[in-house]
Structure 1
Amino acid sequence: MSGIVVAVSRALGHAFSKVNQDQIRLIVGQGVEGDAHCGETVKHRSRVRVDPTQPNLRQVHLIHGELFDELRQAGFSVTPGAMGENIATRGVDLLSLPTGTVLTIGGEAAVEITGLRNPCGQINDFQPGLLKAVLGRDAKGGLIRKAGVMAIVLRDGVVRTGDTIAIQRPSPPHRPLEPV
């Protein structure tokens, strides 16, 4: 199974959206070079207030491009980078991957999925009602978070639009994704 990168983005400051780039560089144990969330310890402001020494399990944010299609059908205007992701993909069911899945991107860079992005109320500041649109319920009533996955960088590399994504699932038993 493989997919493709449809956009790459970063932001120097803590803004909700990120700016699309021709390429981004992933740095082992840090994240996206030149991005506000790059570093060994947590950079998300709400988490820094709780404990600034926590490891950064949110170095790279990935969203499946199919979510943009779903949101457009629901009347939202969301393009790659707008929801703060670093890498937008297509053809990879990111939300179904188990924790610990390794994605090799462009044959060079590699990231390990650490968990789900837990969307917060800021998403409604971007577009009213968007938070509800990126949340759902499964058949048993459990909450489904559709706003992408978070990862750490395992191998340095440049990532560009059009790069292929290879998927390597961890050995069983698989752990389902939880918010990080």
Structure 2
Amino acid sequence: MAKVVAINISKEKGIPKEQIEKGTFVENFGLEGDAHAGDWHRQISLLGQESIDKIKALGMEELEAGNFAENITTEGITLYELPIGTRLKIGVTIQEVTQIGKECHQRCAIFHTVGDCVMPREGIFTRVIQGGLVLPGDTIEIIEEDR
């Protein structure tokens, strides 16, 4: 069963996000209070705990949810294999996959430490179709795949 491990937020772009107890996701905007929220295609970023664990295994055991600047840390779903257009029910929200990975213009501290970073390959982005509250432990379901 796929689930939310953590909800993460930052007031500024370009810094790791901090874990919060719950997140309010706003339709066509993103996570309330997050620097990346807005009317664009990358409102929410997601990364799997499994991806984080790959980098931890390279010697960065101290990594935790939010260190890759992801809004939602997940478990039990291979995010980067989802086709663009897939709709996910995350807690009470509905989110649509808009982008898989991203170009890394400036190598982050994680890359410089271990020689790799998974976010550019395995992180995904969504836009909020239906807003609501999301909590760690909430389930994630694929409700529609665009193939």
After TM superposition, the score normalised by the length of structure 1 is: 0.74
SS in 2 for 1:167: strand
1:168–1:7 Cα change, 3 Å: same
Mapped partners of 2:10, 2:83: distance in 1: 28
Whether the 8 Å CA contact 1:31–1:59 is kept in 2: the answer is yes
Q: 1:83-109 CA distances to partner (integer Å, 9 max, x unpaired)?
A: 100000000110111111111111x11
1:49-60 alignment, distance < 5 Å? 56-60=40-44
Partner residue in 1 for 2:70: 85
Whether the 8 Å CA contact 1:123–1:130 is kept in 2: the answer is no
Q: Where does structure 1 lack aligned partners over 5 or more consecutive residues?
A: 41-55, 136-143, 175-180
Whether the 8 Å CA contact 1:121–1:131 is kept in 2: the answer is no
Whether the 8 Å CA contact 2:65–2:73 is kept in 1: the answer is yes
Alignment of 1:166 onto 2:141:
yes
Partner residue in 2 for 1:51: none
Partner residue in 1 for 2:126: 151
1:24–1:8 Cα change, 3 Å: same
Whether the 8 Å CA contact 2:10–2:18 is kept in 1: the answer is yes
Partner residue in 1 for 2:80: 95
Partner residue in 2 for 1:120: 104
Q: Where does structure 2 lack aligned partners over 5 or more consecutive residues?
A: none
Whether the 8 Å CA contact 2:30–2:43 is kept in 1: the answer is yes
Q: What residue identity is the alignment partner of 1:32?
A: L
Partner residue in 2 for 1:66: 50
1:131–1:122 Cα change, 3 Å: farther
Mapped partners of 2:98, 2:115: distance in 1: 22
Deviation at 1:39, TM superposition (A): 1.0
After TM superposition, the score normalised by the length of structure 2 is: 0.90
Q: Which runs of 4+ in 1 moved over 3 A?
A: none
Whether the 8 Å CA contact 2:111–2:117 is kept in 1: the answer is no
Partner residue in 2 for 1:43: none
Whether the 8 Å CA contact 2:47–2:124 is kept in 1: the answer is yes
Q: 1:107-134 CA distances to partner (integer Å, 9 max, x unpaired)?
A: x111100111314154433551456342
